[in-house]
Structure 1
């Protein structure tokens, strides 16, 4: 059996505001659903984030962890015991196509290195199961579109792990913006970064990660600029800085600054880095006011303020709310405030492709999302 690990080694050589609760009730908190409408999920990739999702799902009302897919037999055994998963719902990376014949699994959450997403999601789709994929959904927009097309061809849904799209502080700022409370939006700043450790990890391997910081933490500022401003950008410029070429090899970005232009006239200035800590901030400025999230995208608690004062919103476990909301999307065709489908992810991938092109050419790249 070829495990994901062996593949990698080969390649490597609090009081809630009423508006927020209304949003959550509309999109994520419907708990009156019958047991036969529970989304039954298998997690593929039993690493650190897979574990975080599994723990969060213990508190879900609409989604349940029922299966696992891993290349490491010992992890499967451990998860079986910890989460009471039956043997018939356990698979490895070679045989998981057999989920096609398992009526007890509705969806597979793919939480593996970026370079594996395309093949694995397409296999899930061909098995007739809904796919949830971690972000970035693929290595580039072409791959992402192929994943979208495969899921459509097999009549299954494709969702992406944009957990912030269900986070209460984030949703409250979006509500305020939609209500015109900030006036005309003029500027957004997104700072996303941390100092990465182990130089041999898959996130610093181009074949598995597709790049460097941009493919991991930078996507938060890309996606955040879109949902905070409420528009899709029409152009991008970008500049790359690399101070440690030994750690950050060819094709693995260390730090990228990028700028986005939006059709309404707003501009965004963002930073993605693997070499600086304390960078997790979103700032939105308009003619009537401002909004800030600090931290903006960490696992929590998220904190925010506007020109009207501190945001009062519930503190939630992001993955719990996300999975309950995704159950509603998959089972009941519910519509989230901010999309989390494959098409949404392809837009981010088109922007990432353009950022890398802008870094290489120093050109302003026009975007058609």
Structure 2
């Protein structure tokens, strides 16, 4: 993990935190995320996480890190969930703790800081720990949560190294707890439609995918630029959506990657992380995915070009306002609360004891591919993924 002159509490107080293959599609209107069994179980009438009422029980979620993503997305989403609820928070900032306690009626016993975090093991109100910390802190808090006997959702990217990913997977398995990665777009109908169209070859074989995601990054979240505890950069942060989108649209894991870093136009801002990177995923059937990401531009697209037409999302990866179109016309698909669907799906996996479709193995696969992309960019050579991938989880399969 990155070494930092700041303590976790200093980092959180000074900067705040920010967040940021296998969904079975049984129709675009339902919940997705559990394997084999239905995840439609409703828990609307449940009010306590301590009552043993089977699938009628709402599971308690504790958010670890109260930065922009927790505040702006996850907490509001938890007010819309059917199978889980906001039960606790973990923060190093007393003012934030007080604010959240008052706003969400969280009892004192369910509020933790980073020194008291491990005491969460003694709290039956909390079933799920959601790790929403800077990337370099994901591994530590996922492992500690598992050791505390809690199921875990970890934000993407899963960790900075595949070795850390394996430790996280092992810790959750040893504790007999489920681990899910925060891949919200697997539960979003526009992206699910891209999976269906691509994997079922509705318009013929997909020959080329274009996946692009970039944002103008400033110093409001310094860890993204390598400050504080570090672990940022556009490839890990927003480029991972391109990697994911290409794989779940094609329904295949690439066999090789090539990559090239963008020229640095602002040496001060991009002294610790890449400014951007172009990378290509090459698949076994000869098709490719041309991807690019940057912290100094704006684009947001997922496009597939097939033998008999094309289909795309633009924007593709945002929290809301996604739009889709095909060579046959516009996609008439409603935007939904993505994070609520994601968390409900995981809660239902726990309640029904079924596997999540966005497991730690998928997160590890993506970190291994990111490592391969950096290796390809550094060496200027094609990197075979068979030499990189230690985990080949099932490729994402869509069905009608």
TM-score (norm 1): 0.91
Partner deviation per Cα, 1:222-268 (whole Å, 9 max, x = no partner): 11111111111111010002222211114x11010000111232201
Structure 1 residues 22 and 116: alpha-carbon distance in aligned structure 2, compared to 1, 3 A threshold: closer
> Which of 319, 340, 343 does residue 339 from structure 2 map onto?
319
Which secondary structure does the structure 1 equivalent of 2:345 belong to? helix
Measured against aligned partners, the alpha-carbon deviations of 1:283-335 in whole angstroms (never above 9, x if no partner) come to 01111222100000011121101122111222111111111111112222345
Give the aligned partner of residue 15 of structure 1.
Answer: none
Q: CA deviation at 1:208?
A: 3.1
- Give the whole-Å Cα distance in 2 for the aligned partners of 1:65 and 1:10: 25
State the alpha-carbon separation in 2 of the partners of residues 357 and 143 from structure 1. Answer: 18
* Alpha-carbon distance change, 113 to 326 in structure 1, aligned in 2, over 3 angstroms: same
Residue 62 of structure 1 deviates from its aligned partner by 0.8
CA 1:349–1:98: 2 relative to 1, 3 Å: same
> Which position in structure 1 is the counterpart of 2:172?
151
Cα distance in 2, alignment partners of residues 258 and 206 from structure 1 = 25
Matches within 5 A, 1:240-255: 240-241=261-262, 242-250=264-272, 252-255=273-276
Q: CA deviation at 1:34?
A: 6.5
SS in 2 for 1:351: helix
Shift of 1:21: 1.8
Residue deviations 1:328-353 (CA, integer Å, cap 9, x gap) = 122223456xx311000001100111
Q: Are 2:309 and 1:289 equivalent residues in the alignment?
A: yes
Change beyond 3 A, Cα 1:280–1:326: same
| Deviation at residue 10 of structure 1 after TM alignment | 10
Corresponding residue for residue 121 of structure 1: 142
What residue is the counterpart of 1:173 in the other structure? 194
How far residue 206 of structure 1 moved from its aligned partner, in angstroms, is 6.2
2:375 maps to which of 357, 363, 366? 357
Partners of 1:44 and 1:123 in 2: CA distance: 12
Structure 1 residues not aligned, in runs of 5+? 12-17
Segments of structure 2 that go 5 or more residues without pairing to the other structure are 1-5, 16-25, 47-52, 390-400
Q: Is the CA contact 1:19–1:172 (under 8 Å) kept in the aligned structure 2?
A: no
Q: Which deviations, in whole Å up to 9, do the C-alpha atoms of 1:192-236 show, x marking residues without a partner?
A: 101111287111116734241111111110111111111111110
Q: 2:63 maps to which residue?
A: 43
- Pairwise CA RMSD: 2.3
How far off is 1:33 after superposition?
Answer: 7.0
CA contact (8 A) 1:29 1:324 kept: no
Cα separation, partners in 2 of 1:158 and 1:24, compared to 1, 3 Å: closer
TM-score scaled by structure 2? 0.84
Cα distance, 1:3 vs. partner? 6.1
CA shift, 1:99, in A, is 1.0
CA shift at 1:22, angstroms? 5.3
Tell me the secondary structure at the aligned position of residue 29 of structure 2. helix
Query: Secondary structure of the residue that 2:229 maps to in structure 1?
Result: helix
Counterparts in 2 of 1:354 and 1:24: CA distance versus 1, 3 Å: closer
Cα distance change on mapping 1:91 and 1:23 into 2, 3 Å? closer
- Contact 1:188/1:282 (CA < 8 Å) preserved in 2? yes
Matching residue of 2:351: 331
